[in-house]
Amino acid sequence: MDSVRSHLNEYVTALGRSPVRDLFEISLDPALISFAGGNPAPELFDVDGLAAAFSAVMATEGGRAMQYSSTDGEPEMREAAAKRTTEMGVPTSPDQLIITSGSQQGLGLLSQTLINPGDVVLAENPSFVSALQAFGLQGAEFKPVDTDEAGVIPEALESAIEKWHPKAVYLIPTFQNPTGITMSAERRRQVADILAASDTWLIEDDPYSELRFTEEQQIPISADQRLDDRAFLCNTLSKVLSPGLRVGWVRGPAHVLERMSAAKQANSLQTSTIDQLAAAYYLAHNDLQAKLDGVRAEYRARRDAMLEGLREGLPEGSAMTEPEGGMFVWARLPEGHDASALVYDAIRAGVVFVPGAPFYIAEPDPRTLRFSFVSNDPEHTREGLSRLGSVFDRG
């Protein structure tokens, strides 16, 4: 254990001034229990199912799979994506979407197509760091929309639109990253009303909604037909099948998809033909919902262990979200704590979390931190949180 300690101390020294950037690399060390990553649990991947899909595709249409293909995506994959989007409550035909190399490419293309330097993008505060990077690369300026436990506060959205004349509103309404918060149906209607009356694009990011532990399915805001001319719904197979595949899609108005397609062609030509065909084959020949039932049950048990452990382990006066799906719990330590400083002590104790401050667009709250609950089974979660217990000052 002493050698592990000194090894972990080296990390802390190496971390220097930019801790979050290196946290993910550090979190790969087996000596650490990591709550830091945004990775799905690999032991729950359907390796056999996807292996069979690759084999079948290579056996039956290997020449096609290895060849160039269209920028907008292979017909089978576009159909599968349209079917999935429709099942999520947003009626969609294949020509209403383009395939992207993961939803990050969708966000990147939307940014390149819609955002000019100085344009304002409204987002939940805190929000998904990589989306902010994509918009930031085009020179976007971010303004926060206030949220509460039911998501975006309509009045706050309305006044932010009035004040900032944003080019776009970026939202993750379901099991938000990093907070885990889900916007209520009522709020979604109110947000749709406000956006329908505005001239603002909606960029709705929906990677987590099928990882839900309750019966109640929330319908994306983009389902509101009044938004058909201004809403983009980004989705992906990353959280439900495999992030290594890089297959996602964006649903949106045709004239913008056309410009995104031109940008995609210049950026990267196309998404991997073989990955698209394998993913489409997988979706056509497997009952994804049945397979997801197993993943959801396990993730639910892991969330339960996380919430239980945090209730016990967080210092008196802490608060946390209790998400009904997704991957993340968000916590706030009592007055006087600094999560960015505590992360060093946590690593020395053999556990990693992500401090919350870097997720903020404005007024970062140094007392916040994000825990991924999907990466560890209940036992490891308990062990990790017990290590953390010694780190938190129990005021």
Residue 59 engages a second copy in binding (rule: CB under 8 A): yes
- The tokens for 92 are 């969609």
Taking the complex as a whole, the smallest distance from the CB of residue 225 to a second copy amounts, in Å, to 31
Q: What is the Cβ-side half-sphere exposure of residue 128, based on CA atoms within 13 angstroms?
A: 26
Taking the complex as a whole, the smallest distance from the CB of residue 137 to a second copy amounts, in Å, to 5
Q: Which is nearer to a second copy, 40 or 309 (CB)?
A: 40
Helical spans, DSSP H, in the chain:
2-15, 19-26, 47-66, 75-87, 103-114, 129-137, 154-164, 185-196, 254-268, 273-285, 288-313, 339-348, 378-389
> Do residues 326 and 211 touch, judged by C-beta distance below 8 A?
yes
Ordered DSSP codes for 206-244:
-SSTTSBSSSPPPPPGGGSGGGTTTEEEEEESTTTT-GG
Taking the complex as a whole, the smallest distance from the CB of residue 30 to a second copy amounts, in Å, to 14
Distance CA 233, CA 279 (A): 20
> Do residues 324 and 182 touch, judged by C-beta distance below 8 A?
yes
Q: Which residues contact 55 (CB under 8 A, 6 or more apart)?
A: none
- The tokens for 276 are 């698209």
Q: Which is nearer to a second copy, 105 or 200 (CB)?
A: 105
Instruction: Provide the β-strand partners of residue 325.
Output: 212
Residue 4 engages a second copy in binding (rule: CB under 8 A): no
Residue 43 engages a second copy in binding (rule: CB under 8 A): yes
Residue 214 engages a second copy in binding (rule: CB under 8 A): no
- Site track for a second copy across 230-249, x = CB under 8 A: --------x--xxxxxx---
Residue 286 engages a second copy in binding (rule: CB under 8 A): no
Q: Which is nearer to a second copy, 50 or 307 (CB)?
A: 50
Residue 340 engages a second copy in binding (rule: CB under 8 A): no
Give the residue from 83, 165, 179, 81 showing the smallest Cα distance to 126.
Answer: 179
Out of 36, 65, 169, 352, point to the residue binding a second copy (CB under 8 A): 65
Out of 4, 14, 31, 51, point to the residue binding a second copy (CB under 8 A): 51
Give the residue from 330, 306, 357, 314 showing the smallest Cα distance to 175.
Answer: 330
Residues 61, 67, 72, 73, CA torsion sign: positive
Residue 27 engages a second copy in binding (rule: CB under 8 A): no
- Site track for a second copy across 94-133, x = CB under 8 A: -------xx-xx--x--xx-----------------x--x
Residue 261 engages a second copy in binding (rule: CB under 8 A): no
| DSSP character at residue 29 | -
Residue 263 engages a second copy in binding (rule: CB under 8 A): yes
- The tokens for 103 are 């939803």
Taking the complex as a whole, the smallest distance from the CB of residue 207 to a second copy amounts, in Å, to 12
Q: Which is nearer to a second copy, 74 or 124 (CB)?
A: 74
Residue 165 engages a second copy in binding (rule: CB under 8 A): no
Residue 137 engages a second copy in binding (rule: CB under 8 A): yes
- The tokens for 355 are 């401090």
Residue 139 engages a second copy in binding (rule: CB under 8 A): no
Binding site for a second copy (CB under 8 A): 38-40, 42-43, 45, 47-48, 50-51, 54-55, 58-59, 62-69, 101-102, 104-105, 108, 111-112, 130, 133-134, 136-137, 238, 241-246, 262-263, 265-275
